[in-house]
Amino acid sequence: MKITIIGTGYVGLVSGTCFAEWGNTVVCVDKNLEKIAQLKQGKLPIYEPGLEELVVSNHSAGRLSFTTDLIGAMKGAGMIFIAVGTPPRTGHGDADLSFVYLAAKEIAQSLEDDAIVVVKSTVPVGTGDVVEKIISSVRPTGSFSVASNPEFLREGSAITDFRHPDRVVIGVEDARAKEAMTTLYSPLAKYETPVVVTRRRASELIKYASNAFLATKVTFINELADLCEQVGTNVIELALGVGLDHRIGKSFLNAGPGYGGSCFPKDTLALLRTAQDHGVSLRIVEETVAANEARKRRMALKVIDAVGGDVDGKTISVLGLTFKPDTDDMRDAPSVPLIETLQRFGAKIRAYDPVGSKNAAQLLENVELFDDPYECARDADAVVVITEWDVICRLDLIRLKESMRFPVLVDLRNAFSVENAEAAGFQIWSVGRPAPRQAVPGARSLPVTFDAAPGYLGLATAAPLLCAAPEFG
């Protein structure tokens, strides 16, 4: 099948490449001449593990191509995917659908009979109806279908998520579109992947509801982490005990500085606006958004407390800038409000990120960026871990401590064990974990360590887990 993908951003490029890997002929279209030229040379506009190799191999095999010519790209295409951005409108919170509607108008000019237009972009309920009306207004005669096919790709593991998804959601209004869409995803049948076929509006809402629920789950464990600190217990143990309940699940129960990225912040706000437009109150989602925004800046107060209550004139080294590991995405990253807050209190900021520094430089002012974490920490009054990159989790703590002015480690991802950090000479502040010396009055202390099964606690003597791998957005 020939497939046209409009938009070569994260969703469009990953989806188009994976469709090509399944043997389809895929043409990715974008108006950005420079981006298309780079893609033809195998240079990607985003960082995603494993994607570059797939782009190069499928491009070389002739299954994947890139162009700015929409009319040419649509010739003979049985499916046209709209995968353009839907950023939040400034000052409104709802999704900006102008790129989606523009794509629909341009598609209508050259759409062939019986073609299926698939909205892959994350859009509010009813967007597919509008896309159908736009196309119909341009070509009132001729047959076509409009379907919804939301993506559920996590940055940093998008290839795996596409190849082995939890489910595929398809929203259609006619049998022909249903048959074509299920056939497209038939390569997943060998994995017994559930394919959920719904009406178009239900499909659109499933995407927003999923992300809002996960955002709420992240915020819930973050608030419980605050309670753990006050009552002298460990949020990691709490999350394990809660997450082993199969009705709840252990994913997204890793406490931290708040969620960020391209999905959760944008989609929760868009869902709230949709609810408001229909006279419905989503109080839980409202509180989730408010609590998460407050948390990002409140983490700066934890850093200030760690250095004695005043950061004016002090040097703070930040390790990790992107909103999660294995991506260069800085959108709504917790590092930005934390750094800005510390700067307002007079701190001098140095920062390190293995791949996100270029994007971070466009958002942050007066921040000295480094290519080496140890150099970043040199003569610092405190080191703050914000993103749990593997290279950061594996740092030599003794070497790190020796380069600093004062041995203060603020671990906002619980990337290091308290015992190992203190053994290296650090004063460690973390999220939802009391230091071993901060014993609860009257409580009996037990030597709890990690056993041989990763992620399970016991009284075994195996080495402690040094770095967890939280799943954020």
Structure tokens at 6: 């409009």
What is the reported pLDDT for 369?
A: 97
What is the reported pLDDT for 140?
A: 81
State pLDDT tens for residues 59-110.
999 999 999 999 999 999 999 999 999 998 876 678 899 999 999 999 999 9
Q: 136 and 18 in one domain?
A: yes
What is the reported pLDDT for 436?
A: 54
Give the position of tokens 């307002």: 344
Q: Is the pLDDT of residue 448 over 80?
A: no
What is the reported pLDDT for 381?
A: 98
Q: 148 and 231 in one domain?
A: no
Q: 153 and 293 in one domain?
A: no
Q: 190 and 68 in one domain?
A: yes
Q: Is the pLDDT of residue 470 over 60?
A: no
pTM of the model: 0.88
Q: 331 and 305 in one domain?
A: yes
Q: 337 and 190 in one domain?
A: no
* Domain contains 468: no
State pLDDT tens for residues 312-339.
999 999 999 999 999 999 999 999 999 9
What number is the average pLDDT over the span 431-441? 63
Q: 269 and 161 in one domain?
A: no
What is the reported pLDDT for 438?
A: 41
Q: Is the pLDDT of residue 445 over 90?
A: no
d(CA 9, CA 4): 14
Sign of CA dihedral 31, 35, 41, 42: negative
pLDDT cut 90: percent of the chain above it: 88
* Domain contains 353: yes
Domain that holds residue 241: 210-458
More confident position, 47 or 91: 47
What number is the average pLDDT over the span 358-364? 95
* Domain contains 469: no
* Domain contains 24: yes
d(CA 336, CA 356): 12
What is the reported pLDDT for 24?
A: 98
Q: Is the pLDDT of residue 10 over 60?
A: yes
Q: Is the pLDDT of residue 457 over 50?
A: no
Give the confidence band of 159 by pLDDT, cuts at 50, 70, 90. Answer: very high
Measured in whole angstroms, the distance separating CA 439 from the mean position of its chain's CA atoms is 36
Give the domain-ending residue among 149, 166, 198.
Answer: 198
Q: 219 and 184 in one domain?
A: no
Q: Is the pLDDT of residue 386 over 60?
A: yes
What is the reported pLDDT for 141?
A: 78
What is the reported pLDDT for 456?
A: 35
More confident position, 471 or 102: 102
What is the reported pLDDT for 449?
A: 37
Give the confidence band of 139 by pLDDT, cuts at 50, 70, 90. Answer: confident
Give the domain-ending residue among 198, 230, 247.
Answer: 198
pLDDT cut 70: percent of the chain above it: 91
* Domain contains 69: yes
CATH number at 407 reads 3.40.50.720
Q: 268 and 170 in one domain?
A: no
Q: Which residues contact 31 (CB under 8 A, 6 or more apart)?
A: 68
Q: List the single range of 18-22, 107-111, 314-318, 455-459 with lowest mean pLDDT.
A: 455-459
More confident position, 437 or 77: 77
What number is the average pLDDT over the span 387-391? 96
Give the domain-ending residue among 173, 198, 223.
Answer: 198
Q: 219 and 185 in one domain?
A: no
Q: Based on the number of CB atoms within 10 Å of its own CB, is 183 exposed (0-12), middle (13-18) or buried (19 or more)?
A: exposed
Give the confidence band of 262 by pLDDT, cuts at 50, 70, 90. Answer: confident
Rg (CA), the chain: 24
Average predicted confidence (pLDDT) for the chain:
91
Q: 124 and 67 in one domain?
A: yes
* Domain contains 465: no
Q: Is the pLDDT of residue 460 over 70?
A: no
Number of domains observed in the structure of the chain: 2
Q: Is the pLDDT of residue 45 over 80?
A: yes
Active site amino acids:
263
Q: Is the pLDDT of residue 450 over 60?
A: no
* Domain contains 463: no
3-state SS string for the chain: CEEEEECCCHHHHHHHHHHHHCCCEEEEECCCHHHHHHHHCCCCCCCCCCHHHHHHHHHHCCCEEEECCHHHHHCCCCEEEECCCCCECCCCCCECCHHHHHHHHHHHHHCCCCEEEEECCCCCCCHHHHHHHHHHHHCCCCCEEEEECCCCCCCCCHHHHHHCCCCEEEECCCHHHHHHHHHHCHHHHHHCCCEEEECHHHHHHHHHHHHHHHHHHHHHHHHHHHHHHHHCCCHHHHHHHHHCCCCCCCCCCCCCCCCCCCCHHHHHHHHHHHHHHCCCCCHHHHHHHHHHHHHHHHHHHHHHHHCCCCCCCCEEEEECCCCCCCCCCCCCCCHHHHHHHHHHCCCEEEEECCCCHHHHHCCCCCEEEECCHHHHHCCCCEEEECCCCHHHHCCCHHHHHHCCCCCEEEECCCCCCHHHHHHCCCEEEECCCCCCCCCCCCCCCCCCEECCCCCCEECCCCCCCCCCCCCCC
What is the reported pLDDT for 142?
A: 76
Q: 215 and 185 in one domain?
A: no
* Domain contains 61: yes
Q: Which residues contact 444 (CB under 8 A, 6 or more apart)?
A: none
